[in-house]
A and B are shown apart, each in its own frame.
Chain A
Amino acid sequence: MKRSPAAIALRWSGRVLVAAILLFVLLPGIVVAVTAFNDRALLAFPPQAWSLRWFWRAFSYSDFGRGFWNGLTVTLWASSIALVVGAAFAIAIHRYTFVLKSLLEGILLSPLIIPHYTIGLGVLILASQTGAGRGFPLVILTHVLLVLPFVMRSTFISLENLDGRLELAASSLGATPGRVLLTVTIPLLLPGLLSGWLFAAILSFNEFTATLFVSSQATQTLPVAMYNYVREFADPTLAALSVIYIAVTALLLSFANAFLGLEKILNVDAH
């Protein structure tokens, strides 16, 4: 089929528009990457001389190191707890009817629309009223609340794609419900569970607002340490740290895309 000049013009203007929007999306990342290698302490653009010293400073600044390990602790606990709790609940929601089902589901999905500072404030007030300290359990609880909807969503999508006949076949062959769950359902859900866990982990590791409210000097995570840094100093250390951040996240997502199919997880699959 031959295209008219107007259709070709439309096609190309569409491409230029998309490229321009992609530039807007990528611009801050590019600017940060260039700034990170700036030798001077001033946040000026473009850099006059190049160096790696801000990367060294990012690695040697003790608050970042501590924040990283704190964040990792919180993330591993929070996303694992959320995975178990959220996946089990998603299965129950998908298959059974029970009392207070929709109420419970509504409550657990509500952190998607309740601002993070409100949740952080609530947990903080609750802790001070019950006399619980501002330790790791408090931060972990907050993160579980925030990432649970994402694990539930990812499990739901896997359940939709699960062929129920496989479970029926297993139980008709005499498998107990427990055996069906362990040898059929969970293995089939595994990609969805893994991607849900990965999403939860990335979101938890980067969560900032609620963590700012509930963490203390001893439990502050990396984003909180970064926020405190940017309020005190104006050198490119944070740019260097951001570059590492962007690289690791893009790598993890490419991995998720290649092995698990990001389109399926995000429900934007065209097929």
Chain B
Amino acid sequence: MTKRPFLGWFVSPAGLVALGLTAAMAAVFQFSMRAYIPGSLEVGGFTLQNFAALVRPLYALAFWNTILLCFETAAFTLILAYPLAYALVRTRSSAVRSFILIAAVTPLFLGEVVRTYSWMIVLGNNGFLNTLLVKLGLVARPVQMMFTSGGVIAALVHVTMPIMVIMLAAGLSHIDRNCEKAAESLGAGPVRVFLTITLPLSMPGIVAGFSTAFAWTFSAFATPQLIGGGRVSTVSTLIYQLGFSSFNFPFAASLSIVGLALSLAVIALLKQATRPLERLASAT
């Protein structure tokens, strides 16, 4: 079609929104290179001091911890979400499918605060898990689970599960079942069919899910803030602390810029590293 009716009407509002977003990102970038004037919301002249300060152990460690936390969360989420996505796509009962779908997807729409709060009750010293463990006689005293990175990971896995299930299920549902049937008819057992056909073919979904889980965890704030309770510091909690406790917005901005660059770099690396696997999937 050569005619493009309403093109201007369709695109210009979106263009305005994109302009707003670009301006906001440019503002962060600009602020990251401004000097901080203690006790004032005004900023000073241009400087690279903020970026130089980021190599201090406190901040370097926070970056390292955050990336580690993201990897662990994404890995655990993948392991737990795969069977669920598989059951969701492959079950023959529509009641089971609806149940899994609602159970897996509802948490996505509850927001971080509600979900984090519910994990505080599960993990607390008088909480569900500790009461259960003590009653069963497995431990003598409550185990400290709040304010630990293990607790943060458990809650983050729960927070990232829905999106991982959705992405894996999308990948699994586009697999041509005839490939599996062909393998079966040639005598492959169910385990072999899964390992040599289904798993490789679902690789695109796995890669997409893993990188999204990574990005979401990197972006999480309420969970590390409330469950970590200041003892697990991540990029997000540091940025908030710098911005709203010490009003050092320039430094918070530089932390955001480096954090964003780092998470984009990790995701790009992930895509690069898993490219052979994806090629395998498309070749099969």
Shortest CB distance A214–B (Å) = 10
Check A227 for interface membership: any CB of B closer than 8 A.
yes
Interface flags for A238-267 (1: CB within 8 Å of B; 0: not) read 110010011001101110010000110011
Check B253 for interface membership: any CB of A closer than 8 A.
yes
Q: For the complex, what is the distance from the CA of A246 to the CA of B41, rounded to whole Å?
A: 40
Chain B residue numbers with a CB within 8 Å of A128 are: 41
A206 and B14 within 8 A (CB): no
A125 and B104 within 8 A (CB): no
B5 and A177 within 8 A (CB): yes
Q: For the complex, what is the distance from the CA of A121 to the CA of B107, rounded to whole Å?
A: 26
Q: Which among B56-64, B217-225, B273-281 touches the partner chain?
A: B217-225
Chain A residue numbers with a CB within 8 Å of B118 are: 28-29, 31-32, 239, 242
A126 and B23 within 8 A (CB): yes
Q: For the complex, what is the distance from the CA of A262 to the CA of B170, rounded to whole Å?
A: 12
Q: For the complex, what is the distance from the CA of A29 to the CA of B161, rounded to whole Å?
A: 14
Q: For the complex, what is the distance from the CA of A268 to the CA of B88, rounded to whole Å?
A: 9
Complex partner residue of B110 from A26, A239, A246, A254, CB under 8 angstroms: A246
Complex partner residue of A32 from B85, B112, B121, B218, CB under 8 angstroms: B121
Check A181 for interface membership: any CB of B closer than 8 A.
yes
B236 and A115 within 8 A (CB): yes
Interface of B is mostly: helix
Shortest CB distance A63–B (Å) = 13
In the complex, besides A98-B7, A178-B5, A212-B221, 6 extra interface pairs with C-beta distance below 8 angstroms are A43-B120, A107-B18, A115-B259, A118-B25, A202-B109, A226-B117
Interface set of B (CB-CB < 8 Å, partner A): 1, 3-7, 9-11, 13-15, 17-18, 20-25, 27-28, 31, 41, 80, 83-85, 87-90, 97-98, 100-107, 109-115, 117-122, 124, 126-128, 131, 158, 161, 166, 169-170, 173, 190-191, 215, 218-222, 226, 236, 239-240, 243, 249, 252-253, 256, 259-260, 263-264, 267
Provide 14 A-B residue pairs closer than 8 Å at the C-beta atoms, listed in order of the A residue.
Answer: A10-B191, A17-B83, A18-B84, A95-B1, A115-B263, A119-B21, A203-B109, A207-B111, A208-B221, A209-B219, A249-B110, A253-B106, A257-B98, A268-B89
Interface set of A (CB-CB < 8 Å, partner B): 7, 10, 14, 17-18, 21-22, 24-29, 31-32, 35, 42-46, 84-86, 88-89, 91-92, 95-96, 98, 104, 107-108, 110-119, 121-123, 125-126, 128-129, 141, 144-145, 148, 177-178, 181, 202-203, 205-209, 212-213, 223, 226-227, 230-231, 238-239, 242, 245-246, 249-250, 252-254, 257, 262-263, 266-270
